[in-house]
Structure 1
């Protein structure tokens, strides 16, 4: 109960009149909404600089692990936090919030999180062509209404205001979409942004492959990814499986071959940059991840960088060794993960580049998501009696109690 509550130690809840109970409920709800607003402020600050520092691919992933909640709840909470709180640019300059007045009302405890979501949703639906002054007036109107209205009334008002600002709606296309299309643009850093279109039959086939791979982790998983990240990982799993097929265009008998060029001393330090496929620059840390389970082509470079000699490609983790790992781990060994062996990489507990041996006692299967997490965060793994054991960082468990994956032990293990 709050300090200002009318409930005293001498008066229990059952002793209060109905009006007093109702007044107390409103008071406690406002206090709860204020606390939720404070949580959003902390999340927004973590998004500015804390997420990557702790080694997580997204703020939603970090919040989900700390909160031990569902992916849907985390996505809504993080989206709410980023919409009503300012952010900072690379130079530290403050970037105003998309819905600043909504954030102020939430901090007062005057509106609920559901009111916030309704206002933000209405603002996001306004076309970019609408002047900023009109957007600000719309937000003020909705916030003033939300202080005394229901969430349904706010949603209806938001729809009316959107219709007023954009009476024509989205313009129809003059030309039909192609049956199938794939458009992409490659950045200077080698990354790709793409979009496209699939006809109903093609989309059904694609989703039949994507959706099972993009299922969220179970509720007891310590790390829950957002929908976009899960589908991105699922897409890459399909690419990896296709690349490993004997009839793949790259003629690879196992996985797609990637050439990484990096001086050994930089690989050992984890600092500096490497070259991917002789063109794209990547960090030494990213090279470490790829070096866990790939083909290695030893090369000798002169002091001026001229290639003097190179050897034959050699796979660090053989297919026979991967089979043994699949039998032992049953899939991704990270606590709470249920990914199957075919979707996992072999990770060296003691790093290969640091003298770690490539044998069953120094390897563990990890899905791509948890493999990256182990390389970029404070999670640790060690082998105890021939089995992998994971230690979480302090922000997940202040006592850093060891964890193991128990999901694969209760079912038949097969690759």
Structure 2
């Protein structure tokens, strides 16, 4: 039996398992009702870190099982089948674990030498307990979408940046930033993206089942999504076009003939899922289209997308633009859309727009909302991913407390997040980041003490993935510089090699 420090491997592993089981059992039996709010969240974080690190043990076990050919020995056709049979998990769960082990686990060559993980920085972040399975999946999905024509060095740098970003952000942050990173690696979209989009586009209708329901699946290209999003934003609003509610308003939620009180009452009764609301909206929109009589003379729907891009992107026609609904489409597709229809194109250049009103007006204007859509892109509360179409304009300093209706002190917030701003216990506060700070002018949200005892102001980067990438890049660069400096210091501290005759002085250099 192999040993580690004189202790058998089996005994050592068994001892760790006993300790783990005892710790988990002890935590399960603990009465947590006496924990203060701030301590409860700390326990959540510590438990989550341990669970994330436990996933690494699962990777090691899968690697060991595969390299021993254990599935075949035990009569299973694959390691997936082995996991399903031994652990009684679903096939989907088994597939996810094996996929993770392939890219994050430490595998070995035939000689026994350890091979580097496919995603080494991501694997290290998981070993540190900083990221979980969803973070790893998000990184892996982005890396998999990088075209093969991109140099390997760029792919390695991208993985390091995403792993660094994952340590401080959410899986959704990694996914959103991944779009920006992919656009950076392939700004013109000429490596594989165009061909892939044309190949993947399509909508498939299956056969009607016994309930006469038709399954639908497929992929929409960015332009089609940009056309569909504004329709769903208005027609799929809670309370609208509900076939189960005779009192539900039909058509467009923004139509002047829609009774606001009636819509609010219908929204309160609406128990449909978002998918069901989308379905009902599309059905009602198709019905209205067929009844309008325009199909015979009009080819396609008019575009009403609000597209946000920078002047630099417009001039170079590269990168990606965003829509008010949170969608992403390549710049050249956005420009093509603008040629064929009439979207509202918002650029970061608002000179001459009436955006400052002081105390003379309480409600924001359409110009101010367009400017905020371009700047904020969605709800500004940290972690919220509500797009601009689901938000309202709010004063950073409440109007009732003297707040002005000026663009620099207005922000976007969804109804749920805005309700969190109050002076009572557990209330959030907002302020504008001061000049000289990294995100000057942006809206900072100050969390209540039970979330952050230090109440450090937070910025929402969910709608600005480039900011996350830049910050992760800086951290990765700093980490590399620190590692390089440490290697230089270690090399300098290393004693000179001994002379072959046993002396301490170094050997003379070889003559030129």
When you count strand as a share of all residues, which structure comes out higher? 1
When you count helix as a share of all residues, which structure comes out higher? 2
Larger radius of gyration: 2
